[in-house]
Structure 1
């Protein structure tokens, strides 16, 4: 049984305060609205609402989607412009995470005011589904990372995902502080979120990319896992919201001759990492577009670097990533292996040169290596990446036979992901509608 289209359900989206989380929630919302007559609210802090409202306006969703302000408790250490991970000094990340836990009262007020039929919640607020349950509202967890990384948390037997001892230690240090204030002793963060989810759990992935890992997580928790598809924002080549100079420069290069380098919208590279990448690019002599997020690019780079690579490289603070990855002149993507970046790369048929900067990204990178679409740059224990190793891997991928195999495999997966994504989203939309319908009095 289905409700008449005029009688839609209200969904409250509740992502973590990072662009890499908010963006998938927005794209999920847009696609759900193209299928079902939901009315969607997305709550975040005031500093994030500007970009959320821009998304709503640019996609003509004003009649069916609204932003709702989430209030953090005032803090002298964390003024309002730091109520987001964008441009947040690294030493304040834990402060923001702790402050986020103080939004329970604000979120409870939002629930009381909006009375949504369903909430869709992120990883770092396991109290959200509990608050929803106390009001009789079903809650579904949306995991914006891949199923392979989640499989690795369950002590899986997939040898391709296993971390070495150094990686295990580093990963343990990264996630240890997450459990201090938010989770019960001995309970894994993502275990808690999956167990609290109503009927299903959503994963930002595709069957063709991670089918066996989706099934493994599903069987481990006896919970239905639904992939949403990669939720890649397609950018038409005719649109003007880009840096046309970069694309004009790229148009003059040879087929598959250029490397795209980017480390996400929020990660800031250290001086040593910048120097290593610059050295690798000089040694390899490949064409490149490097997105370097800093206010003073020339000061951040080695002395004379821009002059030495003139004509074959561009270093910029921003670039239209989707348009670049769709471009036939791009032969590989050097990435930190953030999940949204690498799924976008595979979706457009571009192989990945992996430089995981955080240990939480390693399992996903290893999975992509096993799928034949990624090569990881080696990294020794207690050492950073070396320019010589970066050059060696880039040279092999861009100029060697192995690179062509990577590109063929990436293209195969790209075609499968594109074929599946419409059906995957229809399944998600119908399941969420069913949950709302069954919870009606």
Structure 2
């Protein structure tokens, strides 16, 4: 089978958001080590970012393929991704992606791959490939709990019969999800929801592990009528870095083991000034070391970091707190023994990274599927969620209370122990899960070649 497998060429086509491109590229690297040849297709901006962040030269078994960027005057070329994207440009970015269909079709016809792995909002990909006899596999980058929750609603018309009551959305969270979906699908055809999944060839890949979310993987498989195959957590290595990384990590390494909180809300969400004020208040109410990465959009007017923080805050937390203006080396911080918890928006990539390194999570979900991920973490016993008001706003007092649960109360010892145990089990299964992915892809391709 390995001899046949070496001949197989896979075209991978992620949605051009940073949180989609990264796990797709991690999967590409792992498949390339299993004798597949990978064509990785995206806009130039994303490909350039991959080149910059790849410390070692790309293996010959991965080729970067540029997708033509359609011109939209309201969308500069460097914004064909969600990274640093102001909210008022999200609709334009989505429109630009949909306009790239003809470019993808040309790429597909030129490459003639053996299989395509495609993402959300791309029902036209299998429509291009399937008539030519090429199998297509859907790979959503959010977890099985989220997929099963929303697919259950699609199938049954109600969430009241969802079999896992630990997973739920509050009223204000449901409204935010509806608003986000409306923006993404306002110019799309009816295939964008269930159709993207339905068009997948026999299997669906999922970013997750049966060690952590087995029951949701199994239920998602029942709902969609396809075998759902976990690819593991796809956590990238923490090698490389720059001078700022060294300063942060040197400061962190000077703290006691498991004594420091890392706070970060991902690459695609920017805190409001009010949210920054409340988090600051919470940090002052508890005596815990912390590293806080605060990001502002480069494309919108914003105050300086010092102005966004409470007056005198940096001086009052001097010695126990470090505030980073912009990006911080998340994987390196989470893998550092001095890190004791991760206060996160609970994007799936951040959750899986924290799980992989055995770091408890303090959930502060904001939008999309993040509340579901936060509740999944709480259900597994590896984190807590900050309580918010009915309007979805968290207060400094509740932020402080959640931090103390993990760092100062006995319950924190149990959370840390469970997080460590889960990390060990996830790592033990990582290679087995990837082997299963490779085997299923080979079977699908060989079955197609026989027909």
User: TM-score normalized by structure 2?
Assistant: 0.92
C-alpha distance in 1 between matches for 2:238 and 2:170: 38
CA shift at 1:11, angstroms? 0.8
Local SS of the residue matching 1:120? strand
3-state DSSP of counterpart to 1:177: helix
Query: Which runs of 5 or more residues in structure 1 are unaligned?
Result: none
- 1:266: which partner in 2? 268
Residue of structure 1 aligned with 2:322, choices 310, 314, 326: 314
- Superposition deviation, residue 247 in structure 1: 1.4
Query: Equivalent residue for 1:71?
Result: 68
Q: Aligned residue for 2:189?
A: 183
Give the whole-Å Cα distance in 2 for the aligned partners of 1:399 and 1:58. Answer: 39
Q: Match for 1:305 among 313, 325, 330?
A: 313
**SS at the partner of 1:8?**
coil
Partner of 2:158 in structure 1? Answer: none
Task: State whether residues 126 and 182 of structure 1, in contact with CA within 8 Å, keep that contact through their aligned partners in structure 2.
Answer: no
Q: Which residue of 1 aligns with 2:222?
A: 219
1:347 aligns with 2:329: no
Partner of 1:151: 148
Residues 1:254 and 2:286 are matched in the alignment:
no
Name the CA distance, whole Å, in 2 between partners of 1:421 and 1:180.
38
1:160 aligns with 2:172: no
Whether contact under 8 Å (1:53, 1:67) holds in the other structure is no
- Would you say how many aligned residue pairs link Structure 1 and Structure 2? 433
Q: Which structure 2 residues correspond to residues 51-62 of structure 1 after superposition, within 5 A?
A: 51-54=49-52, 58-62=55-59
**Residues 264, 338 of structure 1: 8 Å contact kept:** yes
Q: Supply the distance in 1 between the matched residues of 2:39 and 2:198 (Cα, whole angstroms).
A: 24
Residue by residue, what CA displacement relative to the aligned partner does 1:318-375 show, whole Å, maximum 9, x if unpaired?
A: 2221121112211110000000101110111111000001142111111111111121
Closer, same or farther in 2 for the Cα pair 1:166/1:84, shift >3 Å?
closer
**CA displacement, residues 169-200 of structure 1 (integer Å, 9 cap, x when unaligned):** 3322222333322231xx671x2222111111
Q: How does 1:16-415 map to 2 (within 5 A)?
A: 16-35=15-34, 37-54=35-52, 58-153=55-150, 154-155=152-153, 156-184=162-190, 189=193, 191-235=194-238, 239-241=240-242, 243-294=245-296, 296-316=304-324, 317-415=326-424
Mapped to 1, the partners of 2:147 and 2:170 lie a distance apart of: 17
Displacement of 1:4? 4.8
Given the alignment of the two structures, is residue 428 of structure 1 paired with residue 437 of structure 2, yes or no?
yes
Regions of 4+ moved over 4 Å:
239-242
After the TM superposition, which of the residue ranges 45-54 and 373-382 deviates more from structure 2?
A: 45-54
Unaligned runs of 5+ residues in structure 2 are 154-161, 299-303
Supply the distance in 1 between the matched residues of 2:336 and 2:378 (Cα, whole angstroms).
23
| CA distance 1:329–1:302, change in 2 (3 Å) | same
Root mean square deviation of aligned Cα: 1.7
Identify the range of structure 1 (171-180 vs 384-393) with the bigger mean alpha-carbon deviation. 171-180
Does the Cα contact within 8 Å between 2:121 and 2:192 map onto a contact in 1? Answer: no
TM-score by length of 1: 0.94
